[in-house]
Structure 1
Amino acid sequence: MSDTLRAPHAPLLDLVDGSGLAEEIEAYLATLPAPARPSRPYVSPLGSTLQPWNAGYPLPRRTLLDRVVRRPARPADVTVAGHLTLTSRYLTAHGWLQGAMWDAAGRVCLLGAQAAVLAHGYGTPYTVRRARAQVMEVLHATGRPVDSPDAYNDHPTTTRADVHQLLAHAATRALHLGI
């Protein structure tokens, strides 16, 4: 049996007879493209960028007629699920509060966040009423029978995370209902 033909369990180095075959293989492998890396999200070493609470939603724009007659822009169309998502984002951006609609620092309660989203031109009062109905449905379905979402917001055991989770469940419910 020759030195280059050994059993399959023999180490690779034993197969090389010093004729330059190893260098030739390494040169060939160097010309091949690098293997694909596993897909991982890119994380910038410089940090992250904050996005506005209304990112991904169109800004309400005043038309020329709106400017001439000095009226506010027409509200941007937002679904009930979109309104609940924006409410949660607004709470994240400005802070959450219990016992008042807003404070001097800009923090808001659940109702204050919904009012702020509406005041920024997202949806209509009808959208807000339907969104509050979805929140009430989730509260009652999860065994928290309260008179209003505001009573739940102001309950001493309620946390900011509870409010965000409530809004997420209500948004999911509204999305499944197509509203």
Structure 2
Amino acid sequence: MTPTLLLPDSLSLTPEGSALVAEIEVYLATLPVQARTVAPLICTYGSTVQRWNAGFPLPRLSVLDRLAHRPARPVAVSVADHLRLTSRYLAEFGWVQGQLWDSAGRVCLLGAQAAVLLNGYGTPYTVSRARNQVMEVLHATGRPVASPDAFNDASGTRQADVHHLLDRASARALSLGI
């Protein structure tokens, strides 16, 4: 015999209980638009759908930024975070070889780093240090190329190779505390 759960009368949906529903709706209306965006909770492959910058705050314009008509101050990210964001950006928008970006919105390694920077995460100095970490990993793994872009555009490179490279570079930067 399966047990049945009996709810007290106070939890049933009555005119008094509908006030609670109205209160919840008012609260939900106060949330930022990003929190109210309707999106599928599970993608077709069974994992959670997330934006490339999930877990990082959005750059916010201050009053001075608005008065000076300038972009928001960039969100401070570590070199390791920049490399993770670059990999996530590539995963969301797609990867391309031989060009910075294409008409479909896919980007190369450098294009993804530039997009992360232009979306307000990190500084040009952060990007430079991240590229140095990528070069260190390339040379440490026996791939002496002139730049990360040469590795990106090599005929044998796949998107998974770029993600693996970014993951190793991020782990290296994290171990160095940068």
Task: Please indicate, yes or no, whether the TM-score normalized by the shorter chain is above 0.5.
Answer: yes
Find the counterpart in structure 2 of residue 148 from structure 1.
147
Q: After TM superposition, list the pairs within 5 Å mapping 1:62-77 onto structure 2.
A: 62-77=61-76
Q: Which runs of 4+ in 1 moved over 4 A?
A: 46-49
Q: After TM superposition, list the pairs within 5 Å mapping 1:76-155 onto structure 2.
A: 76-155=75-154
- How far does residue 48 in structure 1 lie from its aligned partner after superposition? 5.1
- How far does residue 50 in structure 1 lie from its aligned partner after superposition? 1.7
Of the two, which has the highest radius of gyration?
1
Q: What are the superposed Cα offsets for residues 92-114 of structure 1, whole Å, 9 maximum, x if unpaired?
A: 00000000000000000000000
Find the counterpart in structure 2 of residue 53 from structure 1.
52
Q: What are the superposed Cα offsets for residues 43-96 of structure 1, whole Å, 9 maximum, x if unpaired?
A: 97x965421100001111000110011000000000000000000000000000
Distance 1:91 1:49 in 2: 17
Find the counterpart in structure 2 of residue 12 from structure 1.
none
SS at match of 1:129: helix
Distance 2:163 2:114 in 1: 16
Find the counterpart in structure 2 of residue 6 from structure 1.
none
Which of the two has greater helix per residue?
2
Aligned residues: 140
Structure 1 unaligned residues grouped into runs of 5+: 1-26, 32-42
Distance 2:75 2:139 in 1: 30
Find the counterpart in structure 1 of residue 176 from structure 2.
177
Distance 1:109 1:49 in 2: 25
**Aligned-pair RMSD on alpha carbons?**
2.0
Structure 2 unaligned residues grouped into runs of 5+: 4-40
Distance 2:169 2:47 in 1: 29
- How far does residue 126 in structure 1 lie from its aligned partner after superposition? 0.1
Distance 2:125 2:99 in 1: 23
Distance 1:117 1:80 in 2: 12
Distance 2:124 2:48 in 1: 32
